[in-house]
């Protein structure tokens, strides 16, 4: 059984259909990538998983348990961490407080302290800036806080929406190193990435979304070799 | 759509030309400097006109009133911060809490209080039995009145505002005005008995006590005379108002800063979606915000009843607007700003009363002129949000 399963989901914004019959499976311990052009519905898929939008049809299941009827905060507590598009930090709170909020629903104080140390070791830059207001950080630093905040909940599944957006190439590589490291420590990851090349090199499997539907799915290596993908997303 | 994104979008839209020309665009430091200068000049004028002792007494009176404005202003700012609603009913929650305290303690010789009637315990007697008894009585009446007012606020949000949370902003605003009328109607119906004058107690609804009559702390009890017997009189009753207000506001500020719920309140105010993704229950957090804001207003309501001995069923309208001005002056959304703004508006009233002939009738005009000036010239107030919201 897949750890996370999106099953034939339709999503509407008002009358506009954003997703149609989308099905995605993520197994325990995997990195799965979601690629597709602007407006394809990638963000909407992640927002549906974490309960910020409700599917009109279909189901989302975590370890077999339906979660699409729950509130977003309940879903977060069930073990889904989400670093959303546009980072969405608490701008007038410090880096430390932002991370604190990530651990909001946890009560295991000793482990939380351990995880702070862990996140700061993943992103040493944040350790230096822990008392700085998040709104005054650079874009790359903000991205680190967004990922760190999602990690502080110790999620079973981590959803990352364009973690490399707006970052210098060297930082992109650094962030993806961290993503692999997080995954190596046992966190399952579902990842949206505009840079299809780096996404397909990081993920084990990938889905291609086009205008609200999955048009292609398979092992990353196969998609890398696919002529369609090469033409549409790799610019070859 | 979160508050933060909403304001970012609004911020990007070019401001209408007229507004841009009017804005002063001062930094917070400059604004603070200008305010300080203006206040010092007015103070000087007062001293020159009426002498130091009178000026000092008026300033002190202004600060006492300002403490109450500050307590109310905090509730405005808290609620605005989290749901961007100007809760026009808030001033009436303040009045209601004053009535709650009267309901609890009663008015000796006029109306039996809840404690006496149902528990056989005379809290007014306890309060007048010495300093220890007074403190004990305060420790009894404050938490109860605050809880009742807090629940009032929670119910108002639950019944009237919650389902309008995603509606166009005018809808909850008008609803708030409606709730205000509703509360005033309720108070008029339930709390306006004819009150014979000259009775000590917490306060008398609807009728003014002749001066010189006392609540729990005799107005004649003077703590300190600055500058001799014709100098500035620091009364015990006044001091109690200010001390209680400061304690309550510092406690609240600490709660917001350090407690789990306080952090959840700030997080929800800054980015609702992200707060939910962190596992924060938005409804519960908003309820907590209304509870705390209303409880602080209740601190103001109870000290008001004790200090001024007169509660009028519709005074919340005026108090609410004045406290709202204080919140705007301090920078709407900023708790410390609301506190400072309250005291400043109290001073503005003191200046008005002394510097303008027959100034009492000008007080409201001046306060609302301040509101308009701040809104047009320096809408972020003293401590409003200046940190980039871009995250
Ligand atoms: N809040 C909204 N209201 C109305 N329509 C929306 C809303 N959010 C997204 N949409 C629409 O839904 C579709 C899918 O949007 P989504 O944000 O999921 O795309 P995406 O694949 O993440 O794109 P991008 O790569 O640009 O981030 C788009 O057509 C978008 O215009
Ligand atoms: Mg997107």
Whether the pLDDT of residue B199 is over 90: the answer is: no
Q: Which runs of consecutive H residues, i.e. helices, occur in A103-138? A: 109-122, 124-128
Closest-CA distance of chain A to residue B135, Å:
37
Q: Whose CA is nearest to atom 5 of ligand 1?
A: A13
Using CB atoms and an 8 Å cut-off, which of residues 280-309 of chain B contact chain A?
A: 280-282
Q: In the structure encoding, which two tokens stand for residue B37, read together?
A: 């200068």
CA gap A164, B383 in Å, rounded: 35
CA distance B387 to chain A (A): 7
Residue A104 contacts B, CB cutoff 8 Å: yes
CB–CB of A73 and B280 under 8 A? yes
Q: HSE on the CB side for A1, CA within 13 Å?
A: 6
Ligand that lies nearest to the alpha carbon of residue A161, given by its number in the listed order? 2
Tell me what percent of chain A is helix, strand and coil, each rounded to the nearest 5.
40, 25, 35
Question: What is the pLDDT, as a whole number, of residue B92?
Answer: 97
Tens-place pLDDT, residues A104-152: 999 888 899 999 999 999 999 999 999 999 999 998 899 999 999 999 9
Prediction pTM value: 0.89
Report the CATH number that the domain containing residue B321 is assigned in CATH.
1.10.3470
- Averaged pLDDT for residues B314-330: 94
Ligand 1 atom nearest to A194, measured from its CA: 25
Residue B11 covered by a domain: no
- Any CB–CB contact under 8 A between A88 and chain B? yes
Residues on chain A touching B1 (C-beta within 8 angstroms): none
The CATH code for residues A1-79+156-236 is 3.40.50.300
CA A50 centroid distance within chain: 10
Decide: A18 in ligand 1 pocket, CB within 6 A.
Answer: yes
- Per the CB < 8 Å rule, is B387 touching A153? no
> Cβ of B389 under 8 Å from any chain A Cβ?
yes
DSSP assignment string, B279-337: T--HHHHHHHHHHHHHHHHHHHHHHHHHHH-EE-TTHHHHHHHHHHHHHHHH-TT-HHH
Is the Cβ pair A52, B282 closer than 8 Å?
no
Both tokens of B67, joined, read 């403490």
Cβ–Cβ under 8 Å, residues B367 and B348:
yes
Q: Report pLDDT for A232.
A: 78
Q: Is B4 part of the contact surface with chain A (CB cutoff 8 Å)?
A: yes
> Which atom of ligand 1 is least distant from the CA of A40?
21
pLDDT digits (tens, 9 = 90+) for B122-162: 888 888 888 898 899 999 999 999 999 999 999 999 999 99
In chain A, residues with a C-beta closer than 8 Å to the C-beta of B4 are 88, 91
How many helices (DSSP H) and strands (DSSP E) are in chain A?
Answer: 10, 10
SS3 assignment, position B262: helix
B8 lies within 8 A of chain A by CB: no
Residue A11 C-alpha from the chain's centroid:
19
The answer, yes or no, to whether any atom of ligand 1 lies below 6 A from the CB of A155, is: no
Q: Ligand 1, residue A41: give the atom nearest the CA.
A: 18
Instruction: Say if B14 falls within a structural domain.
Output: no
Where in the sequence of chain A do the CATH 3.40.50.300 domains occur?
A: 1-79+156-236
What's the mean pLDDT in B89-114?
A: 87
Identify whether B243 is part of a domain.
yes
Mutate to test the pocket of ligand 1, among A15, A34, A40, A53 (most ligand atoms within 8 A of CB): A40
Strand A80-83 to A157-161 pairing: parallel
What is the per-residue DSSP string for A33-83?
EEE--TTSSHHHHHHHHTTSS--SEEEEEETTEE-TTS-HHHHHHHTEEEE
- Residue B120: the pLDDT is 87
pLDDT tens digit string along B32-84? 899 999 999 999 999 999 999 999 999 999 999 999 999 999 999 999 999 98
* Band of pLDDT at residue B352, cut at 50, 70 and 90: very high
B200 assigned to some structural domain: no
Q: CA B152 to CA B113: how far, in whole Å?
A: 20
Q: List Cα–Cα distances, A112 to A97, A118, B20, B299, in angstroms.
A: 13, 10, 48, 37
> A57-62 and A65-66: which strand pairing?
antiparallel
Contact by Cβ (8 Å): B26, B380: no
Q: Which helix (H) or strand (E) holds B105?
A: helix B90-105
Number of domains in chain B: 1
Instruction: Tell me whether residues B263 and A73 touch, CB distance under 8 A.
Output: no
Residue B247 lies in a domain: yes
Q: Is the CB of A42 under 6 A from ligand 1?
A: yes
C-alpha B213, offset from chain centre? 25
Query: What is residue A31's three-state secondary structure?
Result: strand
Ligand 1 atom closest to residue A209's alpha carbon, by position in its atom list: 21
Dihedral of alpha carbons B246, B252, B258, B259, sign: positive
Report whether B326 contacts B344 (CB < 8 A). Answer: yes
Going by DSSP bridges, is the β-strand pair A205-210/A31-35 parallel, antiparallel, or unpaired?
parallel
Q: Whose CA is nearest to atom 30 of ligand 1?
A: A39
> pLDDT at residue A79 above 90?
yes
Is residue B266 within 8 A of residue A92, CB to CB? The reply is yes
Domain enclosing residue B353, as ranges = 24-192+207-377
CA of A163 to the centre of ligand 2 (A): 11
CA of A44 to the centre of ligand 1 (A): 6
B152 domain residue, yes or no: yes
Rounded percentage of chain B residues whose pLDDT exceeds 90: 55
């Amino acid at each position: 059984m897949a750890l996370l399963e999106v099953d034939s989901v339709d999503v509407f914004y008002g009358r506009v259909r954003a997703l149609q019959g989308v099905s995605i499976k993520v197994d325990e311990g995997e990195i799965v990538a979601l690629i597709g052009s602007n407006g394809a519905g990638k963000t909407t898929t992640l927002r549906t998983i974490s309960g910020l939008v409700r599917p009109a049809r279909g189901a989302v299941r975590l370890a077999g348990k339906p979660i699409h009827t729950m509130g977003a905060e309940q879903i977060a507590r069930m073990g889904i961490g989400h670093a959303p598009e546009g980072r969405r930090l608490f701008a007038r709170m410090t880096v430390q407080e932002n991370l604190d909020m990530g651990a909001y629903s946890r009560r295991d104080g000793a482990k939380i302290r351990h995880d702070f140390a862990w996140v700061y070791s993943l992103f040493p830059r944040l350790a230096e800036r822990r008392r700085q207001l998040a709104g005054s950080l650079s874009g790359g630093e903000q991205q680190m806080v967004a990922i760190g905040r999602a990690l502080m909940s110790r999620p079973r599944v981590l959803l990352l929406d364009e973690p490399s957006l707006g970052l210098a190439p060297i930082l992109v590589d650094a962030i993806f190193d961290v993503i692999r490291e997080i995954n190596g420590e046992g966190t399952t990851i579902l990842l949206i990435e505009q840079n299809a090349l780096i996404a397909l090199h990081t993920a084990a499997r990938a889905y291609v979304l086009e205008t609200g539907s999955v048009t292609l799915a398979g092992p990353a290596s196969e998609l890398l070799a696919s002529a369609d993908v090469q033409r549409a997303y790799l610019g070859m | 759509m979160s508050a933060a994104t909403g304001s970012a979008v609004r911020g990007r839209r070019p401001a209408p030309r007229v507004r841009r020309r009017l804005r002063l665009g001062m930094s917070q430091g400059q604004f603070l400097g200008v305010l300080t200068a203006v206040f010092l000049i007015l103070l000087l004028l007062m001293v020159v006109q009426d002498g130091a002792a009178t000026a000092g007494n008026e300033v002190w009176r202004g600060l006492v009133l300002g403490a109450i404005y500050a307590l109310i202003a905090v509730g405005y700012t808290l609620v605005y911060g989290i749901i961007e609603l100007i809760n026009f009913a808030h001033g009436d929650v303040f009045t209601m809490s004053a009535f709650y305290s009267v309901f609890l303690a009663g008015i000796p010789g006029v109306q039996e209080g809840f404690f006496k009637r149902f528990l056989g315990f005379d809290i007014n007697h306890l309060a007048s039995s010495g300093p220890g008894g007074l403190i004990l009585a305060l420790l009894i009446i404050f938490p109860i009145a605050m809880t009742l007012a807090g629940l009032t606020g929670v119910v108002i949000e639950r019944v009237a505002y919650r389902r309008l949370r995603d509606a166009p902003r005018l809808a909850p605003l008008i609803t708030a005005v409606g709730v205000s009328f509703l509360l005033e109607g309720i108070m008029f119906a339930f709390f306006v008995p004819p009150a014979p004058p000259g009775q000590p107690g917490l306060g008398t609804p609807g009728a003014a006590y002749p001066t010189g009559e006392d609540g729990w702390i005799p107005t004649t009890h003077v703590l300190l005379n600055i500058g001799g017997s014709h100098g500035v009189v620091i009364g015990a009753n006044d001091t109690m108002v200010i001390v209680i207000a400061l304690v309550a506001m510092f406690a609240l500020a600490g709660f917001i800063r350090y407690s789990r719920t306080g952090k959840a309140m700030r997080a929800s105010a800054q980015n609702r979606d992200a707060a939910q993704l962190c596992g924060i229950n938005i409804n519960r957090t908003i309820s907590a915000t209304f509870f705390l804001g209303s409880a602080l207003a209740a601190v103001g309501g109870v000290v008001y009843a004790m200090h001024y001995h007169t509660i009028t069923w519709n005074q919340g309208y005026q108090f609410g607007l004045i406290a709202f001005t204080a919140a705007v002056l301090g920078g709407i959304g900023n708790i410390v700003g609301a506190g400072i703004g309250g005291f400043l508006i109290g001073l503005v009233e003191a200046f008005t009363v002394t510097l303008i002939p027959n100034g009492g009738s000008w007080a409201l005009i001046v306060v609302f002129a301040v509101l308009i000036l701040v809104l047009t010239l320096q809408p972020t107030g003293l401590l409003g949000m200046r940190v980039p919201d871009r995250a």
